[in-house]
Homo-oligomer: A and B are copies of this chain.
Amino acid sequence: MAESLHSLFCPTSIAVIGASTKEHSIGNVIVKNLVQYGFKGSVYPVNKKAEAIHGLKAYLSILDVPGKVDLVHIVVPPIVVPQEVENCGKKGVKFIIINSAGFKEMGKKGAALEADFLSRAKKYNIRIFGPNCQGIINSNPNIKAYCNFTFTYFKPGNISVIAQSGGVGQIIIQALHDKNIGIGLYASNGNTCDISIPEIIRYYGNDKNTKVIILCVESISDIKKFISVAGEVASKKPILAISSGITEKGASASRSHTGKLAGGKTTEIIFEKTGILSFPNLEDLCNASIAFASQPISKGNRIGVLTNTGGPAIVAIDELVKSGLKIPPLTNSIKKNIAGRLLTASSINNPLDILATADASHFKIALEAMVKEPKIDSIYITLVTPIFIDCVKVAEVIANVSKENKKPIVCNLITDNKAWAETANVLSKGGVPCFNFPETAAKILASLVRYNDFKKRKKGQIKTFADINKNTVKSIFEKAKTQKREILTATEVFEILTAYKIPITKWSTAKTIEEAITKSEKIGFPIAIKAISKKIIHKSDVGGVVLNLKNGLAVKSALREMQNNIAQPDLEFMIQKYHSNGKELIIGVKAEKGVGHLIMFGMGGIIVEVLKDVVFKLLPITNIDAKDMLAKIKTTALLDEYRGKPGVDKEKIVEIIQRISQLVTDFPAIKELDINPVLAFSDKAIVVDARIIYSSK
């Protein structure tokens, strides 16, 4: 399927329907760009009146164009687009970029036009790019296709860009171009009515010239396909993305904790699952792509810092440490080896400060030491260009080491790029990524390490438990469905969990106080009792929860009071064994439209209310995913031993998470599931309360 985009990105002939003689119009600029950027194939302007446009003969109709046409731009008003697509079909065109706007985004009438041109395209096996889009650019010297009305004539390179928003795409390519960084392929496909983001990602994944992919999307229509395709590509090539931009409606009117907490986080969760590196802003993203384009991936998080000026290295180290990287001391033998060969006042350590008066020979000694040093995975260089040093020679030393080195190098180059143009040029040609600010260089080095972490991470297994009883659950959900109930009763929820061998507290229900006392005695004191009534959302708010009842008398008086507080005719009592001292945890699931199910784990009780300290993953999850959730909450230390008090049994929690994963995978009509709390102990984990909302559709 990916190969099928070949003629879109590597066309040999392009027609522009709506090509115009009017300067600065889109139909004029596209022809001009194709000519000026040096397209290697044929360009056919289509215009009903003009003889020629930018020196190229114009044709009355696409049907008049001689020879085959791989790719067509359509820039005419929306109303005539379907007919032009029909004509393209007759002509045997393979791809159409519809630059024109005025379709689905403009309401019903536009949507009808879009449906019309799409059905015609399908009839002729034409693929549509756009509409309401910029188009594509391929800088390959054998192609040179600038199928776009923008203005950035970038040089060839191994970074390729996908940006749904043309404005965002423009920011990226201009930023890289301003830094004299080449770009391979560019695609900005606006409304994305046919050719999809995953198709383009796969094409880039297979493109030999593309080493790094930049991805900026606002919406993804088929998340499963996206995760599968992008995940496969991301394991071979880094995909860098920003997480903002995919605007989400957020928490809306969700009834569960999980639902409320999931709002706005889906993009990050998808990226994490896929192995896409997300960045907090476009600038960091662009800068990182430069390093990924020329440097190897770091093998670990230990950084050697080499500098010829103190202050900026301190600033860099602050940032490196903040990013979780280590600055280990140098090995003694290496220190000894270089000590006598550097300038006297040098600081022989990590950071290795060789002073502003260090020349190329000193840099060579220092850099070779960093390369040899087994305790260092990556090299950070601060290079100020002193007026009294031959900095071109220093740059040559760094560039040479960079070319042969398997440890990534980034450089904070402090200079006037005009006066030291040759120094900058030597570093650039040597593929040494240089940044003006120390924090930038440090952050970018950290992202190389982060990609290595992604690549290294083990996926784990999706465990399928055989000891479950699927039929019990099936019949409960079917019953609820026939009764058109979305919220399951407490009894049903406990039965479902029991069927999936999720450990729950001993429980029973009672309709009267007398029954409650009998049942309590059977379960054994202490007892907790909760009100069951369809009218109650938060039981504890209305006096519907009593804990730690120690005998029948206590049950009696507590339930009398509860009956007074909650005067509901459907009031029943959920009677449970009361556990004290367990750690309160929360596990939840939420169906996200178009995405699948998110699973959440976090600290329960007041901590989830106030700190929202939870972690999400996309279902289904593996044993490693489940363990990772426990490790990733901010308060994870609360799960461990603390001042003599034992930690919780994490394996038991991991198992519950995996069983929940299986339950929801088996019954995807589960909309929301809240287990709140699970009480965790040193030897067990027990569900105390849970709710399930099921789609009755």
Contacts and interface: CB of A to CB of B under 8 A. Distances in A.
A565 B167 CA distance: 71
A343 B390 CA distance: 58
Contact of A282 (B166, B174, B283, B437): B437
A642 B609 contact: yes
Nearest to A610: B637
A218 interface: yes
A414 interface: yes
A472 interface: no
A345 B244 contact: no
Contact of A283 (B164, B174, B309, B437): B437
A414 B384 contact: no
Interface stretch (A311-319, A362-370, A679-687): A311-319
Interface in A216-270: 216, 218, 242, 244-245, 247
Interface in A592-637: 606, 609-611, 634-635, 637
A439 B242 CA distance: 11
Interface in A131-163: 149-152, 163
A643 B538 CA distance: 9
A281 B245 contact: no
A165 interface: yes
B309 A24 contact: no
Interface in A161-191: 163-168, 170-171, 174-175, 177-178
B242 A315 contact: yes
A387 interface: yes
Interface residues of A, number: 70
Counting every copy of the chain, the complex holds 2
A609 B642 CA distance: 10
A318 B440 CA distance: 21
A281 B611 contact: no
A384 B247 CA distance: 21
A166 B315 CA distance: 13
A597 B338 CA distance: 44
Of A175, A311, A438, most B-chain CB atoms within 10 Å: A311
Contact of A311 (B152, B218, B281, B611): B218
A405 interface: no
A415 B314 CA distance: 35
Given A436-B175, A541-B643, A637-B610, A168 B311 contact: yes
Interface in A369-400: 382, 384, 387-388
Contacts of A638: 606, 610
A436 B173 CA distance: 11
Given A281-B439, A439-B283, A611-B634, A309 B388 contact: no
B417 A178 contact: yes
Nearest to A316: B244
A167 B316 CA distance: 12
11 contacts: A25-B388, A167-B309, A167-B311, A167-B414, A171-B436, A218-B314, A245-B311, A281-B437, A540-B643, A610-B635, A611-B635
The 5 closest A-B pairs by CB, nearest first: A165-B311, A167-B309, A244-B318, A281-B439, A168-B311
